Chains A and B, each alone.
Chain A
Amino acid sequence: MNDFLTFLGNYERPINHGLYYGLAAIGLSLTVRYLKTPDFTTLGSIVLGGVVGTFIFLELASHPIIASIVGCVGGFSVGVLLGIVTHFLKHMVRIPLAYAGILTYFASMSAAYFIAPDGYLELDRRTKTIFTYMTGPESMIVAMAIIVTASWLLHREFKRKNGKLIIAMTSSEAFLKLRHPCPAKTTRLILTICNGLVGLCGALFAIRDSDAPIKGGNEMTFLLVSLGSIYVFEFISSLFLKISDASLDTSENPISILNKPAVNHLIRLVCGKFSSKNDESKGIFVAACGYATCCVLLQLLFTGVSFIAWLPAHFEYAATVAVIVIVLSCGTRFRSKC
């Protein structure tokens, strides 16, 4: 137990970052799953969410708890606003989603520089925030509580009308044209939830670290970790689906323990929970928690490997972009094969 606490203590920062990225990954996964492409607006949402969250916090700094909460609400609202802008570009100006996202990303960077011309917004180290009162595992528990709440809210919404309409976005172009009651409204809903969560993640990050940098490529790290976790969890999910589909109930199974009804039932139960075997509305909670867990693991991995530390200066951006492109292309191929 002590070893575990020591581990948590040593890796508190990457675990916390992983958890916040997990929150953003839940949002990003909605666009990956239901709009078939990651929304690049999120790159701007995480930066602008952080800057606006910090800006609001500085304005209300005399009340740390209220300032932290209002800062987070501000970050979420900025994300929602950016999602609406991307939706406007996509549906009114008819720009493809990927390009609309990139345009909004550039616009949000300009807005961030407008608020913080120096390229960063920093809190005084002595300033108290909501995180000052929580150290070690407590802050992780709060982050986990936020993730579980977000996952539960999504799970609840997915059982209802809007959730069904969001899942229906995975259908063919013909379905969207002929049968979907409101594809434009549903796209807007997905983009606003996605960017709202990412903006909230940006604000939480900035307030926790007392720093909202615009430069430095944090948004690229976010995209890399979040996308990576989405594809890793989908890979695990598809493996579970394959195991679940395998003929576990036949007596011809070479592994004798699998033929025992209780073991068989247990495997099917576990695999069913972690795979998309049933209606997607029932699996969104597990999926959301899975993305968050994968985010923490990937963040820990990147911290251990620190893969860009040995690269020559100024190559970090190029290296991160190259890794994102590789993750994106491998993930897209994997999804199309599935």
Chain B
Amino acid sequence: MLRNHKGYSVRLDHISFKPPRFLSKPVLNDVSLTIEPGQIVAVIGENGSGKSSILAAIAGELDYWDGDVMIENAHITAQARKLIDGVGIVHQDENADLVPHLSLAANIYIRKLQREFNAKVMRFLDGNEELEKQVRTGLAEHAKWLHEPMETLVGRLSGGERQMLNAAIAIHFENECNPCRLLLLDEHTSKLSSKNSRKVLSYVLEETNKVSCTVVMVTHRLEDVTAFCDRAIIMGEGKIMRDLTRRELVKLNTADLEAMF
């Protein structure tokens, strides 16, 4: 199942994280993990087991943490993520990634601004018709599900459409390298029906497969884990409880998997 190695590798060394609140418990407790390039890894477990914190650590979104995170042998600090091209992240709440009061085009523009990668992008939509045309064609090509014009307000899209848009931006438009090389998905289909969830995930995997992008996804949909993932990491109390390979996963059904945590 391991594909051509074009995705980024990820290494976590003894990661510990305790929220900066009075009497708070550690969320991650000395977690070490290596993810090979091109792997599709699911992180599963009970609520509060530290799944999203692992993703946040890889994305450099944690404020106070110990240990070392490396993406393609580059050390990550809290502020470094903006410097690494090729890492896309889709958060659980789409409102953390999209501005409902802006159009599709303007949302892509904001995400590109976040990366601050070149002056060309800064001029995007400021009368640069050629670049705007490129993005329009790009979005139309990569997001065939989207039947709305680029001027449509994001707030007027349905939940599923927003999740798909969010994933499309993370994969194709957030980075200079297109598609991205490492995609982090944090329960990105949690608000969708099973049918829509499968549709979104199929779209994401179809796009990431083109370059064997490494995918790390936090999910509660165990049927997706057994169907699509190369590896499943089961979290519990801030630690890795089990690390299942594809060979082990194919032998399990969702009930067996659920019984493990």
Contacts and interface: CB of A to CB of B under 8 A. Distances in A.
B101 A160 contact: no
Contacts of A167: 99, 101-102, 106
A308 B103 CA distance: 45
A175 B92 CA distance: 12
B152 to A, nearest CB: 8
Contacts of B126: 159-161
B112 to A, nearest CB: 10
Interface stretch (A188-196, A197-205, A273-281): A273-281
Most interface-central of B93, B100, B102 (chain A CB within 10 A): B102
B91 A178 contact: yes
Contacts of A62: none
B97 interface: yes
Contact of A181 (B95, B101, B102, B114): B114
Interface string B23-45: 00000000000000000000000
B99 A168 contact: yes
A170 B101 contact: yes
B95 A279 contact: no
Given A167-B102, A175-B95, A278 B153 contact: yes
Contact of A171 (B95, B109, B116): B95
B61 to A, nearest CB: 6
Interface string A157-193: 0011100110110111011001111000000000000
Given A174-B95, A179-B111, A279 B103 contact: yes
B103 A174 contact: no
Contacts of B97: 175, 178-179
B106 A181 contact: no
A164 B151 contact: no
Interface in B142-184: 151, 153, 156
B96 interface: yes
A159 to B, nearest CB: 8
Contacts of A280: 101-102
Nearest to A170: B101
Interface in B123-157: 125-126, 151, 153, 156
B106 A276 contact: no
A260 B156 CA distance: 26
A174 B113 CA distance: 17
B110 interface: yes
Given A164-B102, A179-B96, A281-B106, 8 more contacts: A160-B126, A165-B110, A165-B113, A178-B91, A178-B97, A277-B153, A278-B103, A280-B102
9 contacts: A159-B126, A164-B109, A164-B113, A171-B95, A172-B93, A172-B96, A179-B97, A277-B153, A278-B103
Interface of B: 61, 91, 93, 95-103, 106, 109-111, 113-114, 116, 122, 125-126, 151, 153, 156
Nearest 5 A/B pairs, CB to CB: A174-B96, A279-B103, A172-B95, A168-B99, A181-B113
